[in-house]
Structure 1
Amino acid sequence: MAAWPDFYPCTCIAVDAQAYGSNNDRRQSEIQHDLPRLLDRAARGAGLDRSQWQIQRKGDEQLAVRPVDGKEPRLVDDYVRHLVAGLREYNAQRVPHARMRLRAVIHQGPVELADNGFAGSAVVATARLLNAPALYGALAAAPGADLALLLSDDVFRSTVAGGHTTLRTTDFSRVTVQVKEFEAAAWLCVPALGGQAAAPQEPGTAETGTSAVPAQGEPAAAGTQPAAAGGDTAGISNDFRGAGSVSVTNVAGSVDARGAVFGFGSAGG
C-alpha cells in the first residue's frame, strides 16, 4: 500500500450507497460485502491497482486516496465506466428494491495520512461533494441509473475539459454545491444514461430550453442531445433516425399489389 510523508497532492475518490439505511440488516451486510468487490473489479478493468490506494471504509461508504501520478483521466473515464458496467450486471440479478445505486465523487488536493484517517481540506471538500443535493437529485430523477458522478471543478477542467478522456464537456451539467460551510462549483453526470443529469439553473446563467448556459470562458455544460459516457455511439437511442417519414399500412385479406413496393422490418425497428 502506497504511503507518503506530510501533505501530498492526491486524488480522492469517494462512493456512497444510496438509501443504505432503509435496508434490513442482512441487505446492509450484503452491500458491505459486495461494494468493495465491485470497486476492486472496476479498478482492475481500468488497469488500476486499488491495493496501492489508501482506503477509509465506512459501512456503505468508501473514501480512497491515491497520489497524483498522471492516471487521473483513467480514473474519471475507465474506472467509472467499468464501475457502471459492474453495477448494471450486479443489479440485473436483483429485484428493484435490492439494487445497489451509488453516488460517486472525484476531487484532488493535498492530503496527509493522519493518525485517525486522512487530513486536509481536499478530504473535507470530497465529503461535502458526496452529500451534494444535486447528486441525490440526479439519482432520484433517473430511477433507471445505477450511478451518479460528480467531479470537482479542478478535476473536470484538468481531465474532461482538457481533452484527456473520451468524455465530452456536454456530458456534464455545472452545479453549485452548498453543504454546511462548503460552497463550490462541480460537474454532474449520470454515465449510464449516456449524458448529462438535469441540474438547477444557476444564478447569472441564461436559459435555453432546459439547459443552463455557462458564463463566457467556461466549458459547455449542456447539449441538445445526450452524449455517451464511453464514446459517441454508446448513448445512441433505439429510436428511428431516418431522413424522411415512413408510411405504414396494415392490411388484412387479399390485396392487389401489382406495381407496389413493400418493405419488411421487425416491430422494434
Structure 2
Amino acid sequence: MDAQAYGGNNDRRQSEIQHDLPRLLDRAARSAGLDRARWQIQRKGDEQLAVRPLDGAEPRLVDDYVRHLAAELREYNAQRVPEARMRLRVVIHQGLVELADNGFAGSAVVATARLLNAPALYDALAAHPGADLVLLLSDDVFRSVVEGGHTSLRTEDFTRVTVQVKEYRAVAWLRVPGASSGERTTDFHEPGAAERGKPTAPAPGEPAADRSGPAAAGGAGGAGGAGGAAISNEYRADKINVTNVAGPVDARGAVFGFGGGGG
C-alpha cells in the first residue's frame, strides 16, 4: 500500500503520515482479527510491503481488513481539511516470497510492486474524489477468494482492468469501496447497498406499509399538503417486518424504527 500524493506534502506532514499510517494499519488488522506482528513488513516512508503466511485467513484480508481500513481512513480524514487527507492505493497478490538480505525477492514481489503503480489505481482516485482507498486484486487472488465465494464481496463489486507497467502485463480487479461502477461518491457504504437515487427496501425494523406521503413528524397524524393526502399512524401488524440478528452488525447509513407491542 502507498499513500497518494505524499511527495507534495511538506516535511512536517510527511512525518505525520509516517507516524499515522502504521497505526491505522494496525488498528484495521486488529478489528479484522489479524495479527500484523506475524507479518514481515518492509517500510518505505509512505509505503509498506507486507508479507504474511498463507494460513487460511486470506478471505479475511481481502474482505474484513480492507473494510476496516476504509473505516479507519474515513474517521481519520473526517478530522482534516481536504489537503491533509490520507488516501491509499492498496494491492493484494499471492505467491512465493524469499526473504533476502535487503528486503524481499521473488516474482510475486515484483508483480505486487507493478500492480501498486497501475494507472488504473491513480485513475480511480481521480474519478472518485470522495474515496479514501482504492483496492486492486491480482487475478489469482480475485478468482480464488472472491469468485470462489469465500467473502461477502460480489464479483460485480470489481472492475476488470489490464495492468501494463514496464515489462509487467496482467489482468487485475479494481474496487473502490463505497462506489458503484461509474459512480462518483463522497461517502462509503457496504457492498450491495442500493445506489443513491434508487428505491430501497425497508430497513430492518422499519414498517413496510405503503405510505401516501412523507412520514409524520412527532408521531401525530394530520392532513396532507396540497394533494390533501392523509398520513396514517394506524398500527398494521400484518405490515411489520421483524428481523432477528445475532452477532455484530455494521448498520452505517441504516434507519431503524422501534415500537411497542401495544401500537
Query: Shared fold by TM > 0.5?
Result: yes
Match of 1:143, SS?
coil
Residue 239 (structure 1) aligned to one of 194, 197, 203: 197
| Equivalent residue, structure 1, for 2:2 | 16
| Root mean square deviation of aligned Cα | 2.8
Match of 1:69, SS?
coil
Contact 1:134 1:177 in 2 (8 A): yes
Residue deviations 1:115-144, cap 9 Å, x none? 110000000000000000001000000000
Cα gap change, 1:196 to 1:229, in 2 (>3 Å) = farther
**Structure 1 unaligned residues grouped into runs of 5+:** 1-14, 199-227, 249-254
Structure number having the greater strand percentage: 1
Contact 1:147 1:192 in 2 (8 A): no
| Equivalent residue, structure 1, for 2:147 | 161
Partner Cα distance (1:33, 1:52) in 2? 20
Match of 2:97, SS?
strand
| Equivalent residue, structure 2, for 1:262 | 230
Whether 1:95 and 2:78 are equivalent positions in the alignment is no
Match of 1:191, SS?
coil
Partner Cα distance (2:191, 2:11) in 1? 39
| Equivalent residue, structure 1, for 2:175 | 189
Counterpart residue identity of residue 168, structure 2: F
Cα gap change, 1:261 to 1:167, in 2 (>3 Å) = same
- Number of aligned residue pairs: 212
Greater relative contact order structure (CA < 8 Å, 6+ sep)? 1
Partner Cα distance (1:152, 1:111) in 2? 16
Question: TM-score, length-normalised on structure 1?
Answer: 0.73
Cα gap change, 1:196 to 1:126, in 2 (>3 Å) = farther
**Structure 2 unaligned residues grouped into runs of 5+:** 202-209, 215-222, 233-254, 256-263
Cα gap change, 1:39 to 1:197, in 2 (>3 Å) = farther
Shift of residue 192 of structure 1? 2.8
Residue 123 (structure 2) aligned to one of 134, 137, 143: 137
Partner Cα distance (2:28, 2:200) in 1? 37
Question: TM-score, length-normalised on structure 2?
Answer: 0.74
Shift of residue 261 of structure 1? 2.3
